[in-house]
Chains A and B, each alone.
Chain A
Amino acid sequence: KQEVTQIPAALSVPEGENLVLNCSFTDSAIYNLQWFRQDPGKGLTSLLLIQSSQREQTSGRLNASLDKSSGRSTLYIAASQPGDSATYLCAVREAYGQNFVFGPGTRLSVLP
């Protein structure tokens, strides 16, 4: 059974720092991996989608990498801002079904 973990569970950094969020999954047979942002009491906003054949994706200050063989993905946030404060979730789409399996999330606080 696919399991997704995220480290750290929570992170607090001063504004301007570069930071890395980690996501690990146990079964490398995935279709894709997606990073989301969730603000308190809100739905999910998709940040980046990486197909299983890709190594990384970039959008603005965000860069996500994927190492499928080792079951790892990282989300790199450059020059963090207070507006980046949210919970970041990663999810993998299993190769043999339609299911997405979510990690528990990393709660990020960027202090002004």
Chain B
Amino acid sequence: GAVVSQHPSRVICKSGTSVKIECRSLDFQATTMFWYRQFPKQSLMLMATSNEGSKATYEQGVEKDKFLINHASLTLSTLTVTSAHPEDSSFYICSASPLLAPSYNEQFFGPGTRLTVL
């Protein structure tokens, strides 16, 4: 149980275009989802906390107008990288915390999305 999927797994785009990444909790409902980015050989850095039905909370230094987050339902959150640039190339990972016990305070991670901006 507690499976989180991400789509797409890999995306290559041209500089200036926008890319949308989906994060879904497949077998549980999650009021809160988290978006992280990971640079090569580095740890995960939290970008934003996404709450269903409300605006996302962004970490300091993360541009909310560049990284648009929408959490429209209890099973889906999307991250849109707008006007992507090569420096946005990274591994983006989402996670979700179940709404209900017994795992309500545990995070389950998606498989990640590798974004390459040319």
Contact = CB atoms under 8 A, between A and B. Distances in A.
A101 B34 CA distance: 12
Interface of B is mostly: strand
A72 B110 CA distance: 27
A93 B49 CA distance: 13
A67 B93 CA distance: 29
Contacts of B95: 44, 100
Contacts of A36: 109
A44 B106 CA distance: 13
A43 B109 contact: yes
B7 interface: no
Interface stretch (B11-19, B40-48, B61-69): B40-48
Contacts of B112: 41-43
Contact of B106 (A41, A49, A101): A49
Interface string B88-118: 0001010101000000011111111010000
A102 interface: yes
B55 to A, nearest CB: 15
Interface string A34-49: 1010000111111001
A32 B102 CA distance: 14
B43 A31 contact: no
Contacts of A103: 43
A41 B114 contact: yes
Interface of B: 6, 32, 34, 36, 42-46, 49, 91, 93, 95, 97, 105-112, 114
